[in-house]
Structure 1
Amino acid sequence: MLQKKFEKVVLENYPDALDTRDTSIRYLGLLQNGHDIDISKMLMATSLCSDDINIPSTSFFSVVWGPFFLGGLGGLPYAGLTGLTAFAHHIPDHGTAFIFYGPHIGVTLENEVGKMYRPGQGNAGACCGALMLALERFKDDTYTPELKREDYQQTYLESLLFPRKDEILNDKLPQRKITECTFELIDKMLHESLREVKNEFKVDKIALLGGIVINTDFGIDDYFSVRNFEVIRTTYL
């Protein structure tokens, strides 16, 4: 019953979303049956936010190897070219690379977007915390991001999003808009990095599944709204 209530809220904001269990079944099936990929020889990398709440969102892909963690705050692939190269070198012989990526956003049964009730907490808190913090800082007209060594990931995330500050703040739902903008950043960064290190991949295919992870509540399946699904032949990168 609670799952159905959450589904109603999720679909109001992300009409195309599937729960993560159905996401894994659908897209692993497409990889296996539509692209002739042996998923038993597939290594998954993730570029998701380091938030602990995202761990269940990847557990439904337990039939593949991994994950190799590329992401940090907001889901940006902070592991960079070195991390992506390491991932390339870890793929099973005659296997396939699979990258699951994107930012995340919470929802509550009260239809609060950008918040969730975390396990053991009585009050709803920000989710994604890094993106909601950036959003709050952007509301201050005097604020300009400054890279800080001691807070590199957050300040780098904000510096990349800052050029779209007005677009984000003027949207009817800024919490959702900043999440969409972050997906576009992650997607662009991953594709650029893959082209940089393409010769490190000794496999024929790289599968990408990107979108928005939608966090719900403890014991309730999360959801995923797909923005990109593709299988790239490494020779075409």
Structure 2
Amino acid sequence: MLLEKEIGALQEGGVPIERLVQAAYPNAATGESVTQKYLGFLADEYKSDLTKMLFATSLCSDDINVSTDFRKVLSRPFSMGGLGGFPFSGFTGMVAFAHHIPDDGDAFIFYGPHIGITDSGELGRMIRPGQSKLSNSCGALMLALERMQQTEEVYVPHVVDYDYQQMLLENTLMPFKHEIVNAEDPKKEITEKAYFKIHKQINRLVRMSKQEFACNRIFLLGGIIINTSPGYHDYVDIRSFTVYNVSDLEAINPTSILNSKAFKEL
């Protein structure tokens, strides 16, 4: 975690946005470079035909989340995510995705939450295109955090049909309330916990749907998107890169691509 005095030093020095992002997320890279690196790796190392790869996302429905060039390379993205990036399409959505994969193609799912960063390095806030004032990013996660932090009474989210996704998101994160509100940076911490839950849910849904996939492989790429001001690249902090071999239907164990020798030498 970046100390306050370190952030202050960066802010006062007029440091480029890349250094501010990497002070909080040292392994983050631009969305463009992530797209080129990871899809290029699948094409070269796995001989995956990108024209036959069906792309799905589990990202927040926020309009700001066009942070990679995946959509330019992989057409017809299947959207699984809702508020916060949680895969609200659920089991039915994963099965539908499994049924839509082109013949002899592969499945590719990109998932995770997002967080804004200001030009001065503050996390959880950003300037959006066409606006001059700061706003929250991710709005749904920052709203959940604000409710967790209220001191007047103990907040208990109740799922209602007119705000289903937000309430379910808050219910999902509520077990981490103590860790989140007492963290050095609660905005970053609630984003970390959101990634943890999204990652678990995506992998669970893939396992639940494994017999529905006619393809041989399912590639999963998970990370945290860092939204910046207009004029800068957005960044992605990759956390997981795995492949499921669908042919092993009895024990469909994901193999980490990040730990492979070929990827480390890329």
Question: TM-score with structure 2 length normalisation?
Answer: 0.85
CA contact (8 A) 1:41 1:65 kept: no
Structure 1 distance, partners of 2:126, 2:242, is 31
Distance 1:19 1:208, change over 3 A: same
Q: Which residue of 1 aligns with 2:57?
A: 46
CA distance in 2, matches of 1:185, 1:5: 32
Give the 3-state SS of the residue equivalent to 1:57 in structure 2: coil
CA gap 1:197/1:60 in 2 versus in 1, 3 angstroms: closer
Please give the secondary structure, in 2, of the residue aligned with 1:100.
strand
Report SS of the residue matched to 1:208: strand
Deviation at 1:119, TM superposition (A): 1.3
Q: What is the SS of the residue equivalent to 2:218? A: strand
Equivalent in the alignment of 2:86:
76
Say whether 1:181 aligns with 2:203.
Answer: no
If asked which structure has higher relative contact order (CA below 8 Å, sep 6+), I would say 1
Percent identity, aligned pairs only? 49
CA distance in 2, matches of 1:60, 1:7: 21
In 2: Cα distance, 1:166 partner to 1:38 partner: 46
Counterpart of 2:130 in structure 1: which amino acid?
G
Deviates more, 1:98-107 or 1:26-35: 26-35
Misfit runs of 4+, over 3 Å: 58-61
1:25 equivalent among 27, 33, 36? 36
Hey, what does 1:103 align to over in structure 2? 113
In 1, the alpha carbon distance for the partners of 2:155 and 2:115 equals 24
Higher helix share: 1
Unaligned 5+ segments in structure 1 are none
Measured in 1, the distance between the counterparts of 2:219 and 2:25 equals 23
Partner of 2:231: 219
Which residue of 1 is the match for residue 169 of structure 2? Answer: 157
Shift of 1:116: 0.3
2:145 partner letter: L
Is the contact between residue 32 and residue 68 of structure 2 (CA under 8 Å) also seen in structure 1? no
1:146 is aligned to 2:196: no
Residue identity opposite 1:139 in structure 2: Q
Contact 1:161 1:182 in 2 (8 A): yes
In 1, Cα distance between the equivalents of 2:247 and 2:164? Answer: 34
Q: Is the CA contact (8 Å cut-off) linking 1:24 and 1:61 kept in structure 2? A: no
Do residues 229 (structure 1) and 241 (structure 2) align?
Answer: yes
Give the number of the structure whose alpha-carbon radius of gyration is greater: 2
Distance in 2 of aligned mates of 1:209 and 1:162: 26
State the Cα distance separating 1:82 from its structure 2 match: 1.0
Contact residue 43 and residue 97 of structure 1 kept, 8 A:
yes
Greater Cα offset, 143-152 or 94-103: 143-152
Report the counterpart of residue 92 of structure 1 in structure 2.
Answer: 102
TM (normalized to structure 1)?
Answer: 0.95
Deviation for aligned residue 1:63: 1.5
Is 1:193 equivalent to 2:197 in the alignment? no
**2:27 maps to which of 16, 23, 36:** 16
Over 3 Å counting, the alpha-carbon distance change for 1:66 and 1:58 in structure 2 is farther
Post-superposition offset of 1:60: 4.0
Tell me which of 170, 188, 192 is aligned to 2:182: 170
Could you tell me how far 1:36 is from its partner in structure 2?
Answer: 2.2
**1:109-120 counterparts in 2 under 5 A?**
109-120=119-130
Q: State how far apart, in whole Å, the 2-side matches of 1:5 and 1:173 are.
A: 22
Would the aligned equivalents of 2:58 and 2:112 in 1 still touch at CA under 8 Å?
Answer: yes
